[in-house]
Each structure stands twice: as C-alpha cells, then as structure tokens.
Chain A
Amino acid sequence: MYHYDETDKAIVHARVKQFRGQTERFLAGQLSEDDFRPLRLQNGLYIQRHAPMLRIAIPYGMLSSTQLRALASVTQKYDRGTGHFTTRQNLQLNWVALPEVPNILEDLANVEMHAIQTSGNCIRNITTDHFAGVAADEIADPRPWAEVLRQWSTFHPEFAYLPRKFKIAISGTTEDRTAIRVHDVGLQIVKNDAGEIGFTVYAGGGLGRTPLIGQKMIDFLPWQHLLTYTEALVRVYNRYGRRDNPYKARIKILVKALGSDEFSRQVAEEWAHIKDGPNTLTAEEVARVAKQFSAPSYDQFTAADLASIAAQKNEQASDKAFARWLERNVHAHKVPGYAAVTLSLKTPGVAPGDATVAQMQTAADLADEYSFGELRVAHEQNLVLSDVPQKDLYAVWQKAKAAGLASANIGLLADMIVCPGGDFCSLANAKSLPIAAAIHERFSDLDYLFDIGELALNISGCMNSCGHHHLGAIGILGVDKHGEEWYQITLGGAQGNAARIGEVIGRSFAATEIPDVIERMITTYLALRQEDESFGEAVARLGLPPFREAAYRKNETAGEPAHV
C-alpha cells in the first residue's frame, strides 16, 4: 500500500496544526459557529445528537494492521470503545470531545492517517473495490489511480467550496463493485486495442432526494489526462452548479438540467484549455505510486500442494458452519492457493458496520498473521483480509468466530447496509438501527437466510441515503410524518454494472410493521421464484405487484407485539 514520504507527512502534520489553531480560536470565541462549521466539516467533524462525530478517512478502504491498531487505540482513548465503518469506506467515532479532536488527528497523522475532506462541500474520499489488486476479473489495479486522485484532490485550492459534496469512485474490474454509476464522478478503468489504460468517465450519478444514474462523459480518457479532465469537469460544476438550494446543488442536478451532452460539451471545452498542461500525469509518477501497490510475496504452491489444500478444505468443510462461512465469506483470488476473506461486521445484535476495539485489534492480528499486514474496508461495511492462504482458512475462521467476526452472511439479507440513523445522526428523520435489529432478529435462522439467497437490504434514516437504500433489492427509508418515524420501502434497486434505482412500493409503514412486511415479501419470493433466481431477479421479472400485494396484506401476525 501507499506509504507517505517526508512531504506527505509534512502536509498532514501541517493540517493538524492548522486545525488545532482553528479549534482554539473557535473555543476562545474568536471564530463564530458559522465560520467554524465548514472548517470542522472539512476535517470530518460533525456536531451530532450526543456529541461531535469524527469521520476518519480510510483512503479507498486500504488499511495497514498498524493503522487499524491506531484506529482501535483512538477509539479506546477518545470514544466509547466502538467505531462505525461506513459505505464510503471510512470510520466514524460517535462520542469524541471537540477540544480533543486535534489530538486525535495528531495520533492519526503519526500513522499516516487523517480526516481530511471526509465531509464538507469538497472532494471526498475516493472509493474503490475492496478486492482491488486480488480480483480475478481485474483490468488494472484501481488503487494507484485512487492515490493519484487523493493527492490531487487533497487541499485542492479551487475546489474547497463547491456547491455541494463531491464523491469519486473508481472501478478496475469488469463487474463494478464500487457503485460508480451513483457517484458524482465514476471512473471505469478500460484498456484500448493497444493495451493502453484509460478511463470511461461517468458524471452526475447520485442517490439522495433525487437518485440518478451517472451519464457517460467520455468513452476512453487516456490515463495521462485523468487529472486535467477531472479538473475541467469539477471546474464547470464549481462555476455553474446551483448554490441557491442545497437539495439541488449536487452535480447530478446540473447534468440533468443541461443534459449530459451539453454538460460533457462544456467539460470538453474547458478541458481543451488545460489538456497537456502541467497537471498532465507522467509515467514516472504513476510508476512511483503503482510500485507501492505491487503484489506481496505470495507463496508459490505446486499442483500437489494445491490438491492437498483442497482435500484438507473439503474435509474441514464437513463442519457445516465452516462450510457456510466458506460459501459466503471467502472469495476467489487471482493467485492459486489464496483467497480473500470478509470479516463480517453484520453480527445479529450489533449495529451493522460497528466494530469494537477488541475486534479491530483481532482483525489487525489476523492481517499480520495471515494477510501480509493489510486490510480493506468494504463499502458494504465489512472488513476484508485480501490475501489469505487457503490452507489457513480454518484457523482464520476459528479466530474470527471467537471475535464475533465470522457471521456467514456476506451478500445475504443479514448483510444489510445501514446508516447510523436517528440514534446518532442529527440529519436523520428516523432511526435505522432498531429496524436493522428487528430484521436481524426475524431472520436469525441461517438455514432460512441461505435459502433466501443473495439479497441486498439497505436502510437509510433519511433522504441523504447514506445507507444506499435506493440500491437495495429491498430498500428501507426513514421518513418523518408529522413528527413520527415512518418507513418507505423500495424494491428492485441494484448496484454493479446494471445499477438501478429501486421503486417505491406505496405508503410507508410504522417501524413495528417492517419485519412482517419484509417476511411477507420474502415468502412471496420463495413461492414465485424460478430456479436460482435471486430476489432482485424475481422483482425484475415479476414487477412490483405481487410484492406490493404481499407487503400490504394484513395477516394473522398483525396486532401482535412489536419486534422492535
């Protein structure tokens, strides 16, 4: 992974000093709340319901074991012992004290981490595939490009006060795992006939109040022009994006208003002026960064080794619990004899995405012992060990299980994406965690979950859509009706290459109704599905009516005590 040189270190430490000064001026009354707000937001600091919330950047989801231990230590020292991993691959702490934040940032800077631009109307953390570098279907590793973009966007002087936040995601695989089409800018790595790397650029995607799928700007942007083209695009947005209404200020609204042809024409016109300028990338720089993402020193396994590993695995898989974990939480790796492992942060009874200090430490230990000391954060709010020898899978499973990190539910209904919701977030209209807990409780039987199969269930506590509810095969959105919390359901959303925004099925439900509603729709799916058809595929084939009918059908459980 990328390691800071002296300049990178100096810049991050200068940021700590700058923010310490700003915090001191605020606490001394020399800086008003209005003037301080954008400054603290650009350091990831929100003022929330209970205490300030600090969002720590995990650039493109990559962590060393040292960094994860530092996150554990910060969580222990300044918070209440639990951190929350987000859909933007970051970590949030919900109980920090404002005067201590500069000290937290100092601790983080010592391990090459920060909270720079994790909030505010600026270019946010660049996200990518949590299997980057190990995926079998990879065209090229997206991480060097993500790092190049991270440096370009860090303290970009022109783009610190954009109309609204700006999120970039980059995918290096044929199957998009990074939701690039619902980002302000989505970059898909492609190769041309000559084998040269370039990017298909999408812009104007986003969730929130007006969910839209990103539009293609350019088919093949040669890699040298990544920064100048992006700069031209963000400049057009900075100049012409709406600033009169925060709900209409994202780039997607501008792209929609102008039409994607006109918007891309304006970008091309702007780009013509700066193309081939000094910000044009050099092969030397790309090589310098790419070198730091070179493959670890994998063991070479002979065919005989691999056969015996497979035999051993088959034998161990007679343990049904292990077999299930292998099926759901272990993923193909491009190197024979290796696998990627997801450490589930979706254990029933625990808020999705939450990890305790002890779990972070265990994950760091596992990374050191079995995965070259590195981890990833998945945007589905789990941790990933990307390079585990298959011969060690059983040992990893046992240790992960002991730490509560081995729920065999990745990709299943229980692997919900959930925002912190009204329990913590001051923007939320409704709580999301109790809804997730009630669903976990209702669908606690693993046989049942496996029978239902792959199903993305995403929950957001408000229209800001941090829980990506639009992209869930089942989406749940918290809404406020006359001061009461209600939940709207969408069906048929999907991420990936066939990204699709889910459709609202009808009037919203009370919290207590949700588990029954979900269960009735699942029962309908099980009755109607064709062989190997997932819930999402069944919705695509059958349309909403059978599910809507099920959702609103009164059944015998109505009136029973709530599960919430």
Chain B
Amino acid sequence: MSKQLIKDGQLIADDNWQTVLIGDDATADDAAALVIPAGRVVIPAAVWLAQRNNLLTRTEHLHDIAVSLAPTFRVEDIAHDVHRFALIAVEFPKFIDGRGYSTARLLRERYAYQGELRAVGNIGRDQLFYLRRVGFNAFLLPPEQNAEAALQSLNDFPEVYQGAVDQPLPLFRRRTA
C-alpha cells in the first residue's frame, strides 16, 4: 500500500491507528453501546463523550484512545479533555466544508492542544497549505491521491498576510520598513 499519511512534512509508512466508525445517523445509545477494541484506536468524539466515565478508568490505555471530530461536532464539548489525547482527527467528508479549519484553530489556539492534529477525509494537495496554517500537522490523503507530489504544496506560498497557528504574527508585525 502506498504511503498516504503525511506527518510533520514527511510521508509516513505505518499508521498504527485503527479507526472505529459509527454511522452518521447513530444515536446517543449507539454511541454508548459501541464496543471499543484494544490497541490504538480513533473513536468518534460523540462516543468518547458517551463513554467518558468508563474510558477514564482505562487509565493505563488511555493514551491509546484518540477522537475524531465530525464537522458538526462542537469542539467546546471536549475542551477539557484535549490534553488526554495523543491524536485528534478532524473529518472532512467534503473538502468544500470548511468547518474543520475553525475547529483546528480553536484546538490549537484556544485549548492549547499539543498532540497530533490530523485532517482526514476528502482532502487533497490543494488544501494542504491552508490546513497546515490552521494547525494541522498530519494529513491522511485518500488512496487515489499522490501523497508524495502533495508534499510540494505545503510550501505553495513564500509568505502569508494574516496570523494563524503556524505563524501567529501577521505580516504587518513582521514587515521590515
């Protein structure tokens, strides 16, 4: 299998996270009932919230649990837990749905999330520059995408005007007279 994960500017061969999904129409009961396998696993944030008290008792394995945020998920709802996760995935079911960009900035800038922030779903090289700027450091590209070529787009622009996560200072605070 070709390498589809870009992390910190490199192609990564083995992604040892397993993703567990629930359907879009899953209820709160479904989220509460989902069986979470052992090992490093990404679960929907709604499942984390539904099973939080139980999962917090798995202290020795807690770092093996990551959450995945759907576009409609309000990041405020896991704000108090973000320090517990080594990985947070933000889902882009369609690349034209830009809610995940705001989610990423809030995670980094407001909730001081330090771990891996991974964009997953329908993303491609033409989104990488912006995704990186709002705080993503990892990108899981769909199988049909050429991830190696996509690396080049991380550097599409030599400079940026506005402050964001990668460069908090806007250009006007950095311009030399």
Contacts and interface: CB of A to CB of B under 8 A. Distances in A.
Interface of A: 5, 7, 10-11, 14-15, 18, 22, 30, 35, 38-39, 121, 151-152, 154-162, 227, 235, 238-239, 243, 273-274, 277-279, 281-282, 284-285, 288
Contacts of A154: 161
Contact of A39 (B101, B126, B172, B173): B126
B162 A285 contact: no
A11 B171 CA distance: 12
B130 A282 contact: no
B137 to A, nearest CB: 14
Interface stretch (B38-46, B83-91, B92-100): B92-100
Contact of B97 (A156, A161, A279, A281): A161
Contact of A155 (B96, B102, B157): B157
A38 B158 contact: no
A278 B168 contact: yes
Nearest to A231: B162
B124 interface: yes
Nearest to A148: B172
A279 B169 CA distance: 7
B62 to A, nearest CB: 28
A158 B134 contact: yes
Most chain A CB within 10 A, of B71, B95, B102, is at B102
Contacts of B124: 35
Contact of A161 (B95, B164, B168, B172): B95
Given A161-B101, A239-B99, A279-B162, A18 B173 contact: no
B129 A157 contact: yes
Contact of B171 (A15, A151, A158, A162): A151
Interface in B127-141: 129-131, 133-134
B162 A238 contact: no
Contact of B96 (A38, A235, A277): A38
B30 interface: no
A7 B175 contact: yes
Contact of B158 (A14, A157, A227, A288): A14
Contacts of A274: 109
A284 to B, nearest CB: 8
A7 B98 contact: no
A238 B102 contact: yes
Contacts of A30: 146
B91 to A, nearest CB: 14
A278 B157 contact: no
- Measured as residues with beta carbon below 8 angstroms from the partner, the interface class of chain B is 35 or more
Contacts of B8: none
A123 to B, nearest CB: 11
Contacts of A35: 95, 124, 126
Nearest to A14: B157
Contact of B102 (A7, A239, A279, A288): A239
A160 B156 CA distance: 15
A14 B102 contact: no
A253 B105 CA distance: 25
Contact of B170 (A159, A243, A278): A278
A159 B161 CA distance: 13
Contacts of B130: 155, 157-158, 160
Contacts of A152: 161-162, 170
5 contacts: A11-B158, A156-B162, A278-B169, A279-B170, A284-B172
Contacts of B161: 11, 151-152, 154-156
A18 B156 CA distance: 6
B159 interface: yes
A155 B160 contact: yes
A159 B164 CA distance: 12
Most chain A CB within 10 A, of B103, B168, B171, is at B171
Most chain A CB within 10 A, of B101, B105, B171, is at B101
A30 B130 CA distance: 21
Contacts of B160: 11, 155, 157
A39 B126 CA distance: 8
Nearest to B98: A161
A11 B175 CA distance: 14
A296 B126 CA distance: 42
A11 B157 contact: yes
Nearest to A237: B102
Nearest to B177: A288
Nearest to A234: B102
B101 A158 contact: yes
B171 A238 contact: no
B163 interface: yes
Given A154-B161, A158-B164, A282-B172, 12 more contacts: A10-B158, A10-B159, A152-B161, A152-B162, A155-B130, A155-B160, A158-B101, A158-B130, A159-B101, A161-B95, A161-B98, A278-B170
